[in-house]
Amino acid sequence: MEFGTAEYQERIRKTKAKMTEKGIEVLLITDPANMNYLSGYDAWSFYVHQMLVIIDDEDQPLWIGRAQDANGAKLTTWLFHENIFPYPDDYVQSTTKHPMDYVAEILEQIGQEKRSIGVEMENYYFTAKCYERLQKGLPNSTFKDASLLVNWVRLIKSDKEIKMMKRAAKIAELSMMKGIELIDVGIRECDVAAEIFHTQIKGTNEFGGDYPAIVPLLPSGERTSTPHLTWTDDTYETGDIVTLELAGCYKRYHSPLARTVSIGKPAEKVQTLSDIVVEGLNNCLSMIKPGIACEEIEETFRKTIAKIGATKESRLGYAMGLNYPPDWGEHTASIRKGDKTILQPNMTFHLIPGIWLDQYGFEASESIVITENGCETLASLPRELFIKDGFVKIIS
Amino acid sequence: MEFGTAEYQERIRKTKAKMTEKGIEVLLITDPANMNYLSGYDAWSFYVHQMLVIIDDEDQPLWIGRAQDANGAKLTTWLFHENIFPYPDDYVQSTTKHPMDYVAEILEQIGQEKRSIGVEMENYYFTAKCYERLQKGLPNSTFKDASLLVNWVRLIKSDKEIKMMKRAAKIAELSMMKGIELIDVGIRECDVAAEIFHTQIKGTNEFGGDYPAIVPLLPSGERTSTPHLTWTDDTYETGDIVTLELAGCYKRYHSPLARTVSIGKPAEKVQTLSDIVVEGLNNCLSMIKPGIACEEIEETFRKTIAKIGATKESRLGYAMGLNYPPDWGEHTASIRKGDKTILQPNMTFHLIPGIWLDQYGFEASESIVITENGCETLASLPRELFIKDGFVKIIS
């Protein structure tokens, strides 16, 4: 458990306040990051159904999950063991039984079957089938959409969480430097990715790394026209652009970072794009402070890059922190037109002004924490297009 | 694209045959493994909504996804570019718009709005909200549950797929050997995990590795009482048991493998458990052949371990191959009581007879392919409890 029981209880208190606002009496948490946030639960068991149940008038949540994972819940959470409810293995990926049938039975047994139940409708780990089976199993319950309810509680971090994200940022810095150092003519993409992974997981001598919610993304050449391709076992060639997006992760807290490498002198258009994106990013970092709205950041960036006629259709950033695959983003505030979320101290964002054109792309990003007077980047690494000489190395 | 267009078309043909059987005219594929299987699409973009649409009387699927990922679809699939439908970025994680609204509009535009539509109800990437929005957007459609429809097509691999899984197995072997070599007194768990990741991604000099759908799982000590805990930055101690489950992955095809290490002479009860589990695994490998049912394998294992009074409640294995996070299992056939699936050549399973008791656990597994006359393990590594001497090393 990474936080004291008092911090978990405070999170539960904030969650219950939001439940009350929305008229939710029983909240079913299936997002693994939300489960971890409220209970400490940490395991790669989210590929089977599991949940945390928050009941408005109960002090502790219930954990419901697969029998073989129950010892994991005992080892990683602050819950009393009698609050851990394991379901038998024949519920796993069965064509006849579904774990939500078990959940419905438990809720009925503990007298919660006629209440107003909140479910995370828009979460990877709450499938359409989950909802169908729960509704069938609990015909006297009222269901409400509780998507992102806990995610919004997560938006403002505690000082302890910020400290953990700074450790993650240290790992991100080291991993990015390793990638930039290794990318060169004749090197295989997978070998660069392997060294990045190694750095991410090893961490530092003081603290080890955890697995980021997204693998390193490092498309090269024409593949930089899109941000989410992973590596191949091809070798880099002179003239390649490589966009590198990765995160450091410390005890499930993330700090993402993106940079771009040019192997050999970049084409003028690439350097121009790089310069204006970095200028835009710097302008944003200068103006970010508590009290402004997310959309104002986007406006600053948009106006900067308009100077050379560039545009960016996709959002400029998003809240992030604690997470599990497949995403380190929190799915709450986005830095884009129309997002009126007001910045407050200890909110954390990944500001990623990537631009992907049809033949190439450019990315440079920072993870930031909102401070009392402005913002601070979590990592510290030059913001520029990194240029390798691009000469073929002769191995002596 | 890893396979020729002919292989993708054959997969589409088989999928359409199953659609006809189930009365489905339009199939919406949201499982990233199924998307890859039918189109070649490969990117870490599944954290936003995306899908492949298979229409019974159209030759090619449609790809619908986020605008910035459309170039990725052009680069990695066999689809004509006019079949790629990008949705604007303001649909991403929005509180007002949902990508399924866009999907509904597209289906209406192309005259598919009054048809029988299959959806993957039990898939991580088809949330309860997705289904709600699709039903709202397509009030004249009939929806059918098409969960696992394509997964069942994937059950029998082509020879080319088996070759790829053998490459994955080579990587699994190397990664496992690296882990076993490094686990020792005073070494941090994260440093072992880092080297395993490095080996998984580097692959061999001939071919690089891809990211497995699950990170290496390597609980130690009391944490071996449950299988899905990841590493810490603590150091190993004499007397620790470490269970190691990992996969090699080659171009999204997996070959998982599990082994157990004892640091120092194991307690007699651990050695006894190890011996009987390995005997059970060996007995299963000897009897597996085409024509028998999955449940017969479980029976063989159960009878073997009953000799020492041991039992195993969880399933013994499952079909696996092509996949994306969070799971490498195919969610179709399971090796357990009641599963009547009949083995056929070129089916592939992960046979993992792990046993987790309250204080410790033991795992030894094999990935296998069913052959004409029996089965073959994909990797080749001794099946035993690996014992390190457990002496504290003096660094000179």
Across the interface, do A329 and B214 touch by the CB < 8 Å criterion? no
Distance CA B308, CA B327 (A): 32
Alpha helices in A44-158 (DSSP H): 70-76, 99-109, 128-137, 149-154
Q: What's the confidence (pLDDT) of residue A257?
A: 98
Across the interface, do A127 and B129 touch by the CB < 8 Å criterion? no
Q: Does B188 touch chain A (CB under 8 A)?
A: yes
Per CATH, which fold does A159-388 belong to?
Creatine Amidinohydrolase (3.90.230)
Distance CA A224, CA A20 (A): 46
Q: What's the confidence (pLDDT) of residue A391?
A: 81
- The dihedral over CA atoms of A221, A225, A227, A229, expressed in degrees to the nearest 10, equals -50
Distance CA A218, CA A227 (A): 8
Give the DSSP per-residue string, B28-50: EE--HHHHHHHH----S-TTS--
Distance CA B203, CA B197 (A): 10
What percent of chain A clears pLDDT 70, i.e. is strictly above it? Answer: 99
Say which of A69, A124, A215 has its CB closest to residue B124. Answer: A124
- Note if the bond before A326 is cis, omega within 30 degrees: yes
Q: How many angstroms away from the CA of A196 is the closest CA of chain B? A: 8
Per CATH, which fold does A5-154 belong to?
Creatine Amidinohydrolase; Chain A, domain 1 (3.40.350)
Q: Does A119 touch chain B (CB under 8 A)?
A: yes
Which residues, including other chains, have CB under 8 Å from residue A51's CB and lie 6 or more apart?
A28, A29, A30, A35, A63, A64, A65, A103
Cβ distance B362 to B277 under 8 Å?
yes
Residue-wise pLDDT for A290-344, tens only, equals 999 999 999 999 999 999 999 998 999 999 999 999 999 999 999 999 999 999 9
What's the whole-number mean pLDDT along residues A13-40? 98
Q: Does B210 touch chain A (CB under 8 A)?
A: yes
Q: What's the confidence (pLDDT) of residue A393?
A: 66
Q: Does B69 touch chain A (CB under 8 A)?
A: yes
Burial of residue A140 (CB within 10 Å: 0-12, 13-18, 19+) is: exposed
Q: What's the confidence (pLDDT) of residue B228?
A: 96
Q: Does B329 touch chain A (CB under 8 A)?
A: yes
B170, two tokens: 């080579």
Distance CA B37, CA A94 (A): 23
pLDDT at A396 over 60: no
Cβ distance B62 to B81 under 8 Å?
no
What's the whole-number mean pLDDT along residues A176-181? 98
Cβ distance B233 to B190 under 8 Å?
yes
Cβ distance A63 to A73 under 8 Å?
yes
3-state SS of A26-71 is EEEECCHHHHHHHHCCCCCCCCCCCEEEEECCCCCCEEEEEHHHHH
Nearest to B249 by CA among B352, B346, B170: B170
pLDDT at A73 over 60: yes
Residue-wise pLDDT for A349-373, tens only, equals 999 999 998 888 999 999 999 999 9
What letter does residue A178 receive in the DSSP assignment? H
Q: What's the confidence (pLDDT) of residue B308?
A: 94
Across the interface, do B67 and A314 touch by the CB < 8 Å criterion? yes
Say which of A46, A200, A202 has its CB closest to residue B326. Answer: A46
Which residues, including other chains, have CB under 8 Å from residue B41's CB and lie 6 or more apart?
B32, B35, B52, B63, B72, B73, B76, B77
Band the pLDDT of A395: cuts 50, 70, 90.
Answer: low
* Residue B202 φ/ψ, nearest 5 degrees: -65, -40
Q: How many angstroms away from the CA of B343 is the closest CA of chain A? A: 18
Residue-wise pLDDT for A29-62, tens only, equals 999 999 999 999 999 999 999 999 999 999 999 9
Q: Does B251 touch chain A (CB under 8 A)?
A: no
- Residues of chain B where predicted confidence (pLDDT) is lower than 70: 393-396
Q: What's the confidence (pLDDT) of residue B40?
A: 97
* Residues 212-241 (B) with a CB less than 8 A from some CB of A: 214-215, 217, 222-223, 225-233
Question: Which residues of chain B neighbour A331 with C-beta distances below 8 Å?
Answer: 93
Q: What's the confidence (pLDDT) of residue A358?
A: 84
Question: What is the average pLDDT score of chain A?
Answer: 96
Distance CA A247, CA A203 (A): 12
Strand B116-119 versus strand B26-29 pairing type: parallel
Q: Does A47 touch chain B (CB under 8 A)?
A: yes
β-partners of residue B271 are: none
Q: How many angstroms away from the CA of A211 is the closest CA of chain B? A: 8
Ranges assigned E (strand) in chain B: 26-29, 51-55, 62-66, 84-87, 116-119, 142-145, 241-250, 253-263, 317-320, 329-335, 348-351, 355-356, 361-362, 366-370, 375-377, 385-388
Give helix B294-306 / helix B268-287 axis angle, nearest 10°.
Answer: 150
Across the interface, do B68 and A227 touch by the CB < 8 Å criterion? yes
Question: Which residues of chain A neighbour B145 with C-beta distances below 8 Å?
Answer: 129
Give the start-to-end residue ranges of the domains of chain B: 5-154, 159-388
Say which of B130, B227, B338 has its CB closest to residue A68. Answer: B227
Nearest to B70 by CA among B83, B56, B84: B84
Distance CA B208, CA B246 (A): 17
Across the interface, do B222 and A121 touch by the CB < 8 Å criterion? no
Q: How many angstroms away from the CA of B181 is the closest CA of chain A? A: 17
Q: What's the confidence (pLDDT) of residue A394?
A: 65
Distance CA A184, CA A181 (A): 8
| A-B C-beta contacts closer than 8 Å | 227
- The enclosing H or E element of B136 equals helix B128-137
Across the interface, do A72 and B228 touch by the CB < 8 Å criterion? yes
Question: Which residues of chain A neighbour B231 with C-beta distances below 8 Å?
Answer: 201, 208
Cβ distance A261 to A244 under 8 Å?
yes
Nearest to B40 by CA among B68, B12, B66: B12
Question: Which residues of chain A neighbour B210 with C-beta distances below 8 Å?
Answer: 230
Across the interface, do A71 and B358 touch by the CB < 8 Å criterion? yes
- Note if the bond before B326 is cis, omega within 30 degrees: yes
Q: What's the confidence (pLDDT) of residue B359?
A: 87
Distance CA B333, CA B340 (A): 9
Distance CA A30, CA A8 (A): 17
Residue-wise pLDDT for A117-171, tens only, equals 999 999 999 999 999 999 999 999 999 999 999 999 999 999 999 999 999 999 9
Say which of B68, B201, B228 has its CB closest to residue A226. Answer: B68
Cβ distance A112 to A55 under 8 Å?
yes
Q: Which of B87, B94, B124 to mutate to test the interface with A (most CBs of A within 10 A)?
A: B124
